[in-house]
């Protein structure tokens, strides 16, 4: 950030009065520009036969690696709505509900990832502009070494342990 | 948003190529300025005798109304760290762990509120610049009609139902 988005004048990076950490501040119009982590909402879609749906990313970062469908939450939607919207956009899977089962912070990336478990109503899914391939995997087929993100690995592992441990929400923080 | 924070030129509000919703876009340096919901992290502190700690807000909005301690999550911290930091800043309660028990979206405000249940190690707490009064309440004493935010009411109600229903995470969306 170099300029004030409100008035267009240069900003400076300093600790505002009454605060305890540096922010981008505009001395012209007095706006303090706070920067906060972003929420990524994702789903773990389960087919009627119990297999898990994964998407091969067709976009950077981590192009050609496998991921659970998800993306940045938008204003004017709930975390669940964001997760379901991204699942449609990336894998053409339609669901209208889901259960939050993992909340994983990634402080280094300024992100919080929220994962929902969803039941696919049928075997409908498709590749999209964002996913070059969309495929169902048995527990033993999951491509652990080709997963796009550590948070996805962490959420998948937690899901696979759930049947033994009863439903619980994983809440953790990853270093990067 | 009127100006590009990267180059200082005026932005326009339009649907970028390949996108499906309008964004603030800079045609000068091609930056797309995404706007996303913010995470608010809070705690429900429980004293050794089971009473619940609430803070009377000393700042707007909702000055003089009661709330659970919390505030905007910062970059470089996890949701739990954010919740514990705010609890220290607002009520001088120190804890080093907590359990996520409610995730409440407020699409209208572009916010997601994440609530942690924490056990206070002792009866230490204090008023601060942000809280004119900090006080412990029995279940029957909670000032329902003077709570600052609907999400706080919702989280408190869920907490009070937990002993009967077993531990579960409330995940919902509020209209405003
Ligand atoms: Zn300004
Ligand atoms: Zn620009």
Percent of chain B with pLDDT over 70: 98
* For B74, nearest residue in chain A (alpha carbons): A36
Residues in chain A: 176
Residue A165 has pLDDT above 70, yes or no: no
- Ligand nearest to the CA of residue A3, numbered in listed order: 1
- According to the model, what pLDDT value does residue A174 have? 82
- According to the model, what pLDDT value does residue B176 have? 56
Distance from A105 to chain B by nearest Cα, in Å? 5
Q: How confident is the model at residue B153 (pLDDT cuts 50, 70, 90)?
A: very high
Would the CB atoms of A107 and B77 count as touching at under 8 Å?
yes
Which of A64, A16, A106 shows the shortest CA–CA distance to B79?
A106
- According to the model, what pLDDT value does residue B101 have? 94
Residue B173 has pLDDT above 90, yes or no: no
Give one word for B148, left, alpha or beta, with left for phi > 0 and alpha for psi -120 to 50: alpha
pLDDT in tens, B53-98: 999 999 999 999 999 999 999 999 999 999 999 999 999 999 999 9
* Superfamily of segment(s) B38-173: Nucleoside Triphosphate Pyrophosphohydrolase (3.90.79.10)
Of A8, A21, A73, the CB nearest to B3: A8
How many CB atoms are located within 10 Å of the residue B59 CB?
12
Beta bridge partners of A46: A52, A119
For ion ligand 2, residues whose CB falls within 5 Å: B 4, 6-7, 26, 28-29, 31
Instruction: Kindly list the residues from chain B whose CB atom is less than 8 angstroms away from the CB atom of residue A38.
Output: 36
Beta bridge partners of A43: A116
**Among the residues of B40-149, which ranges form H helices?**
79-91
Is ipTM > 0.95 here?
no
- According to the model, what pLDDT value does residue A108 have? 95
Is B46 in contact with B119 (CB distance < 8 Å)?
yes
Q: For A118-146, what is the mean pLDDT?
A: 97
- According to the model, what pLDDT value does residue B154 have? 94
Would the CB atoms of A5 and B7 count as touching at under 8 Å?
no
Tell how far the Cα of B5 is from the centroid of ligand 2, in angstroms: 7
Helix (H) or strand (E) holding B150: helix B150-165
pLDDT in tens, B95-147: 999 999 999 999 999 999 999 999 999 999 999 999 999 999 999 999 999 99
Q: Strand pairing of A170-173 and A99-106? A: parallel
- Ligand nearest to the CA of residue B24, numbered in listed order: 2
The number of CA neighbours under 13 Å toward the Cβ of B30 is 1
Across chain A, what does the average pLDDT equal? 94
Of A20-34, A106-120, A151-165, which gets the smallest average pLDDT?
A151-165
User: Hey, is B82 helix, strand or coil?
Assistant: helix
- Ligand nearest to the CA of residue B5, numbered in listed order: 2
* For A114, nearest residue in chain B (alpha carbons): B103
- According to the model, what pLDDT value does residue B121 have? 97
- According to the model, what pLDDT value does residue A167 have? 76
- According to the model, what pLDDT value does residue B142 have? 98
* Three-state SS sequence of chain A: CCECCCCCCECEEECCCCCCCCEEECCCCCCEECCCCEEEEEEEEECCCCCEEEEEECCCCCCCCEECCEEECCCCCCHHHHHHHHHHHHHCCCCCCCEEEEEEEEHHHCEEEEEEEEECCCCCCCCCCCEEEEEEECHHHCCHHHECCHHHHHHHHHHHHHHHHCCCCEEEECCC
A6 phi, psi to nearest 5 deg: -85, -45
Is A66 in contact with A147 (CB distance < 8 Å)?
yes
- According to the model, what pLDDT value does residue A43 have? 98
Is A174 in contact with A151 (CB distance < 8 Å)?
yes
Q: Is B144 on the interface with A (CB under 8 A)?
A: no
Q: Is A46 on the interface with B (CB under 8 A)?
A: no
B141 phi, psi to nearest 5 deg: -100, -5
Q: Is A33 on the interface with B (CB under 8 A)?
A: yes
Instruction: Kindly list the residues from chain B whose CB atom is less than 8 angstroms away from the CB atom of residue A173.
Output: 78-81
Q: What distance in Å separates the CA atoms of residue A170 and residue A161, rounded to the nearest whole number?
A: 11
Q: How confident is the model at residue A44 (pLDDT cuts 50, 70, 90)?
A: very high
Q: Is A128 on the interface with B (CB under 8 A)?
A: no
Fold classification of A1-35 (topology level) = Ubiquitin Ligase Nedd4; Chain: W; (2.20.70)
Q: For B17-37, what is the mean pLDDT?
A: 94
Tell how far the Cα of B100 is from the centroid of ligand 2, in angstroms: 40
Residue A55 has pLDDT above 70, yes or no: yes
- According to the model, what pLDDT value does residue A38 have? 97
Tell how far the Cα of B11 is from the centroid of ligand 1, in angstroms: 14
Q: What distance in Å separates the CA atoms of residue A128 and residue A134, rounded to the nearest whole number?
A: 8
pLDDT in tens, A133-149: 999 999 999 999 999 99
Whether the upstream peptide bond of residue A61 has omega within 30° of 0, thus cis, is yes
Distance from A36 to chain B by nearest Cα, in Å? 5
- Ligand nearest to the CA of residue B30, numbered in listed order: 2
Would the CB atoms of A75 and B5 count as touching at under 8 Å?
no
* For A3, nearest residue in chain B (alpha carbons): B5
Tokens of A5: 């988005």
Can you give the residue ranges of every domain in chain B?
A: 1-35, 38-173
Q: Is A22 on the interface with B (CB under 8 A)?
A: no
Is A108 in contact with A93 (CB distance < 8 Å)?
no
Instruction: Kindly list the residues from chain B whose CB atom is less than 8 angstroms away from the CB atom of residue A4.
Output: 3, 5
- In angstroms, how far is the first alpha carbon of chain B from the final one? 23
Helix (H) or strand (E) holding B172: strand B170-173
Percent of chain B with pLDDT over 90: 89
């Amino acid at each position: 950030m170099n300029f004030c988005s409100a008035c267009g004048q240069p900003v400076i990076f300093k600790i505002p009065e009454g605060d305890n950490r540096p922010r981008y501040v505009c001395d012209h119009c007095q706006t303090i520009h706070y920067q906060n982590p972003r929420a990524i909402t994702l789903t773990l879609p389960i087919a009627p036969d119990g297999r898990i749906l994964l998407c091969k990313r067709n976009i950077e970062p981590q192009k050609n690696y496998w991921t659970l469908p998800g993306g940045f939450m938008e204003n004017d939607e709930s975390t669940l709505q964001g997760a379901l919207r991204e699942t449609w956009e990336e894998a053409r899977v339609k669901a209208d509900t889901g259960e939050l089962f993992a909340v994983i912070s990634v402080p280094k990336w300024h992100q919080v990832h929220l994962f929902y478990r969803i039941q696919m109503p049928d075997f409908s899914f498709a590749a999209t502009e964002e996913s070059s391939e969309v495929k169902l995997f048995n527990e033993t087929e999951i491509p652990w070494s080709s997963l796009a993100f550590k948070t996805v690995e962490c959420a998948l592992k937690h899901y696979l342990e759930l049947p033994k441990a009863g439903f619980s929400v994983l809440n953790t923080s990853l270093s990067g």
